[in-house]
Amino acid sequence: MATITVKPYVDKSEDDGIGLVGLGLNSFPGTKKIFQVPIKNGRYLTGFDEHASYLSTLDEKEKAKEIKKIKEKCKELDSLYKHLAICDCSLENDFYRKMNIELSSDNNYYDTNNILDEVKVSIIRTGAKYSGDSYIAASFEEASTSNKDYFYYLSDPELDIISEVSNKKKRNNAYKALGTIEDSISDLRLYSKFLLRPSKGLNSLNSDGLYAKLDDFINGVVDGQTSGDFKENHEVFTKTLKKDKQEILARVVIKYALYLNIIRQRADKEFTFVKTGNELGKTPTEMYDYLTNLKNSELYEQIKKEVNAEMAIM
């Protein structure tokens, strides 16, 4: 048995404007969030249920192993705490129906030598893994890389440190990559147009403005807003700068040709070059493959010229 910690998850790349992030908090000190025992397919999700629906998602070997583990644990619990009916996960069980899991804005400690703490840790672990709508992540790594916004995570000190160091290394690599293009406004403009939403406003920005846009992108800030959808942007940025620049250029040409209506999609889903009526494919990938084919280079150059006439690509 051990002491298990549930910590508030704080994305340190975000600034809440009131200093909570700097304190490692995601809500005001002294506040609490209260969670009920999660329910899935008409049964409490606890980790003590050999009839739990999530078991059917496991392969036969893993399922048999998990059921055996649950039965052995329930045999132990029934012998010691039969009056609590811990392994009765039906919705009629008042033990779970009346149970609340309170988590403070600071670290929350559970001593698994205490039966109630042990049960709550099992509920938190099982819910994090199988409920699908838990606000508590199974680990720091899951909380920091998932698209979902988590309030808390189960802490494993060694794994937390490894994950945090890994994320810092990835972000540092992205900044090193950004440093290789910071003196080239054409490169800053090209990669901004590849990574960010199409905008004529990018052409009005100087080097510092474009650098700031890419710096924001690395930190998961797009159009002034931070979103879980962008938590891996530092890795995306590094991989993008490793790609062939001519590939990036071709994809930007297509992206902006669509944005400027130089290429349009017909009702039959076929993309066409408006000026000549040439058919280019039914998906962006098909367009890219078609226009980068050597035999279509003249058409590609014509489209690129049209785009540059409306707004310089680089």
Nearest to 194 by CA among 124, 259, 289: 259
25-50 pLDDT, tens digit per residue, is 455 666 788 889 999 999 999 999 99
Residues 204 and 292 in one domain: yes
Half-sphere exposure of 48 (CA within 13 A, CB side): 24
Q: What is the tens place of the pLDDT at every residue in 156-170? A: 665 556 666 777 788
Three-state secondary-structure class, residue 114: coil
- Residues 111 and 201 both lie in one domain: no
Q: Is the pLDDT of residue 19 over 80?
A: no
**Which of 39-53, 187-201, 253-267 has the largest mean confidence?**
39-53
Per the structure, how many domains does the chain have? 2
Out of 155, 172, 188, pick the residue that ends a domain: 155
Residues for the chain: how many in total? 314
Same domain as 294, residue 200: yes
Q: Within this chain, do residues 141 and 236 fall inside the same structural domain, yes or no?
A: no
Confirm if 141 and 157 have CB atoms less than 8 A apart: no
Per the structure, the complete domain to which residue 199 belongs is given by: 164-310
In the sheet that holds 108-111, the strands lie side by side as 108-111, 3-8, 152-155, 136-137
111 shares its domain with 178:
no
